[in-house]
Amino acid sequence: MLKMFSDVDINRPYYDVVFSGSLDLIKGFVIGFIEGNELEGEAIFSDEHHADDEGKFGQLLRLIAVKDKTVRVIICCRFHELISQALEKRKDEIPIAIQSVKKIKGASFGFRYKTFSEEHGEKLKNVFGNLPKGLTMESGYSPEEILNPKAKGIEAYAPLHHYELRARGRVSGLIRSVIDFYGQVEHNSLVELEPIKLEYE
Amino acid sequence: MVFFFAKAKTVIVKAIHHRCGWLPVFLIAAIVLIFQAGVPIPALCAPLHGADSIHDVGDKLSLLWVIPFVGILLSISLGPLLLPRFWHSHFGKVSFFWAFLFALPFWYYYRDTAVYHILHIYLLDYFPFIILLWGLFTISGGILIKGSIKGTPLVNTIMLTIGTILASWVGTTGAAMVMIRPILRANHNREKKVHLMVFFIFLVANIGGALTPLGDPPLFLGFLHNVPFFWVTTALFPHMLFMVIFLLAVFYIMDTYYYRKEKDRLKKIGPLKQEPLRVEGIHNLFLLAGVVGMVLMSGNWKPGNFDVFGIHVQYQNLLRDVAIVSLGLISLATTSKGIREANEFGWFPIMEVAKLFAGIFVTIIPCLEILKAGADGALRPLIEVVRNPAHYFWVTGTLSAFLDNAPTYLTFFNLSLGKLGMTEAMIPAALAAGTVTANPQFISFLTAISAGAVFMGATTYIGNAPNFMVKSIAEESGINMPTFFGFLFKYSIPILCPGFVVLTLIFF
């Protein structure tokens, strides 16, 4: 993830730019372009932003060359227009093209978690109950906590947990905040995350 | 006939009146089974059958008598998965239901023979089995490994190896209880821990218990039925060594891969607070040695027996059981409360075993009798299908994976005896390899049965008692353990099954 701001302003406009071409080539070209022109901006590539909803089938189709290689890059702020002009000039030399550009209004992702540990349960409730600035929890999030005092201790043939916490919900907000929060919770093996869904203007 | 139904109705009404909600269900179910078993209605009111010879019941029993045994095993397998809350509160009643469903018609139809068989299996199998498990559980629950070291791939591999070795001497449940928390502490900072718990189940909770009758319940049942104590040690050592080396190698590769992937993150978190490892309650190791000594003694010393309702109870077995109970009580009296609390020691697991096996041991009677009858019994097709050691390994193993491995072992143990026309008294001589009395076919069958029951108990959460225990402790430590089918398809089939295939090609 290339950030060219000293302090990223989450309110800046972000664009969903779909390139055709290979990820490595696009990544090298875009980063080189930003660095070479000393542009103020940010580019988040598909291996970092979790906004691709291609799925396994799509990956398979791309692998067997049935589907074109496309790379979704989330870009701030408008320098894709400069990239587009540069690519236009050198379209015979560089096998990259911009397929679409859409201005992003916001983003969201669904999640669910389940734990049988009170310690982890408190942490999860805290993480999803106190969302960072720029994020909101969509309605319907209500962690369900079940306590079974009878089930305290070790069991072998009749296992039942004395504590159980499960919840599902959807976090939405500004794209930058959503991506940051996603990166924060994705390492927690107790949380299952859906891909980030972009909303356009 | 009218009298019978009138009496039954009175009992049911009384039971309902006294809020014994389950009793009518047992009675009704038992009556249904009597009819299903092909007993003509007049037979219910007819004079009781004469005392059948206790040895020829197997050839008279139809497969319907095995329904309660299948029922209890399926209940144990499916109850925790499908109805966990109901199962947790009522497993004892379910066990009693199946036991009663078999015992009542069996007693009604066979009277003295039924009483003999039920007493026989309780006195000679159930009580020693529960006493041993209680002893090992109580004593190993007094051993606490404290401190923490960094869970690197090498350290984790060493800890799994220690747990594997320990399992044969303190039982798989005891070893799992002692080793699980040090391993969890050592890997507290690690992100990917599921594979660690899966290999823990494979090695410590199952395969590690292959070397002595103390290690895994099926092998102790074998010991109770005349298999010499150290026979499994020598017979299963090559098989176990192969599986352990194979699994540890796979584990080391997997753990190294995950460790490298998260090395940067681990550096950011900073080092885990390390404390040197130390063992508390070490005197319990001597008590465990005492249990081993008592079990060994009971296998070698033959001072004679006394009769309880016509059942020969050996003095040495009584002495062994009394000594194990004493050693357990000494452990309880001499181990600090803090150690037991740190191990989350409680009586629930042993209560589970006691209640469920009380049902298993009753309902298994017809199955064992039919198998003992060999080709004359109703399980003749099974005897004909299971022919060579590879068959025994895979059939015992597959059933052990989905049913409990102890009754499965006992079933195929009897199948092999029935097939070869052997009695339990002939077993020590038949297993004495290299002597004139040795029976190479029986040796290969029993090796395959033992390996199948112990090794393939690791394939699912329901294959062996400690599997669920490990899953439960891991989940309560914040590890997202795979589901039943996740465990089977993501880990057991891809990792264990290739090992079992190679094992079959080499040894069976």
| CA B383 to chain CA mean position, Å | 23
Give residue A55's pLDDT. Answer: 65
pLDDT-above-70 percentage for chain B: 88
Whether the CB of A159 is below 8 Å from some CB of chain B: the reply is yes
DSSP string of B165-232, one letter each residue: HHHHHHHHHHHHHHHHHHHHHHTTT-S--HHHHHHHHHHTTTGGGGSSTTTSHHHHHHHHTT--TTHH
Assess whether pLDDT exceeds 80 at residue A91. Answer: no
Same fold, A7-104 and A107-200: yes
Task: State the pLDDT confidence band at A66, using cuts at 50, 70 and 90.
Answer: low
Can you read off the two tokens belonging to residue A161? Answer: 């947990």
Q: Which fold has domain A7-104?
A: Alpha-Beta Plaits (3.30.70)
DSSP string of B424-438, one letter each residue: GGGHHHHH-TTSTT-
Assess whether pLDDT exceeds 90 at residue B384. Answer: no
Q: Which residues of B touch A151 (CB under 8 A)?
A: 88
Rounded to the nearest 5 degrees, what angle is found at the Cα of B417, between the Cα atoms of B305 and B99? 70
Q: Which residues of B touch A189 (CB under 8 A)?
A: 191-194, 479-480
- From the list A161, A164, A169, A160, the residue with the least C-alpha distance to A110 is A169
B186: amino acid identity, one letter: A
DSSP string of B73-86, one letter each residue: HHHHHHHHHH-HHH
pLDDT-above-90 percentage for chain A: 25
Going from N- to C-terminal start, the domains of chain A cover 7-104, 107-200
Cross-chain residue pair A155–B173, CB shorter than 8 Å: no
How far is B352 from B172, CA to CA, in rounded Å? 16
Region B437-446: what's the mean pLDDT? 92
Q: Which residues of B touch A116 (CB under 8 A)?
A: 472, 475-476
Residue of A155, A161, A186 best to disrupt the B interface, most CBs of B under 10 A:
A155
Task: State the pLDDT confidence band at B338, using cuts at 50, 70 and 90.
Answer: very high
Q: Which residues of A touch B490 (CB under 8 A)?
A: none
Pairing type for strands A163-173 and A135-137 reads antiparallel
| CA A144 to chain CA mean position, Å | 26
Map tokens 């209004």 to a residue. A105
Give residue B349's pLDDT. Answer: 87
Give residue B264's pLDDT. Answer: 79
pTM score, whole prediction:
0.79
CATH of domain A107-200: 3.30.70
DSSP string of B438-502, one letter each residue: --HHHHHHHHHHHHHHHHGGGSSTTSSHHHHHHHHHHHHTT-----HHHIIIIIIIIIIHHHHHH
User: For chain A, how far is it from start to end, CA to CA, in angstroms?
Assistant: 24
Mind telling me how many Å the CA of B278 is from chain A's nearest CA?
A: 23
Q: How far is CA B29 from CA A171, B33, B100, B208, in A?
A: 53, 6, 9, 41
Q: What is the pLDDT of residues B64-115, one digit of tens each?
A: 999 999 999 899 888 888 998 899 999 999 999 999 999 999 999 988 889 9
Pseudo-torsion of CA A117, A122, A128, A132, nearest 10°?
-140
Residue of B73, B77, B88 best to disrupt the A interface, most CBs of A under 10 A:
B88
A with B: how many residue pairs have Cβ under 8 Å apart? Answer: 86
Burial B86-120 (b: 16+ CB within 10 A, else e): ebbebbbebbbbbbbbbbbbbbbbbebbbebbbeb
In this predicted complex, what is the ipTM?
0.74
- From the list B191, B139, B157, the residue with the least C-alpha distance to B325 is B139
Cross-chain residue pair A154–B353, CB shorter than 8 Å: no
Cross-chain residue pair A154–B177, CB shorter than 8 Å: yes
- From the list B469, B85, B356, the residue with the least C-alpha distance to A150 is B85
Task: State the pLDDT confidence band at B275, using cuts at 50, 70 and 90.
Answer: confident
Cross-chain residue pair B84–A159, CB shorter than 8 Å: yes
Q: How far is CA B88 from CA B91, B393, B473, B485, in A?
A: 6, 32, 16, 21
Cross-chain residue pair B476–A157, CB shorter than 8 Å: no
Q: Tell me the pLDDT of chain A averaged across its residues.
A: 83
Half-sphere exposure of B214 (CA within 13 A, CB side): 28
Using CB atoms, pick whichever of B87, B348, B479 lies closest to residue A154: B348
Examine residue A77 and say whether the peptide bond preceding it is cis (omega within 30 degrees of 0): yes
Mind telling me how many Å the CA of B16 is from chain A's nearest CA?
A: 27
**Torsion sign across C-alpha atoms A186, B251, B349, B120:** positive
Task: State the pLDDT confidence band at A23, using cuts at 50, 70 and 90.
Answer: confident
How far is B235 from B66, CA to CA, in rounded Å? 31
Residue of A122, A124, A154 best to disrupt the B interface, most CBs of B under 10 A:
A154
Map tokens 């000679």 to a residue. B124
Q: What is the pLDDT of residues B391-409, one digit of tens each?
A: 999 999 998 888 778 888 9
Do A192 and B482 form a contact (C-beta atoms < 8 A)? no
Is B148 strand, coil or helix? strand
Q: In chain A, which among 31-60 make CB contacts under 8 A with chain B?
A: none
Whether the CB of A153 is below 8 Å from some CB of chain B: the reply is yes
Give residue B54's pLDDT. Answer: 52
Give residue A67's pLDDT. Answer: 64
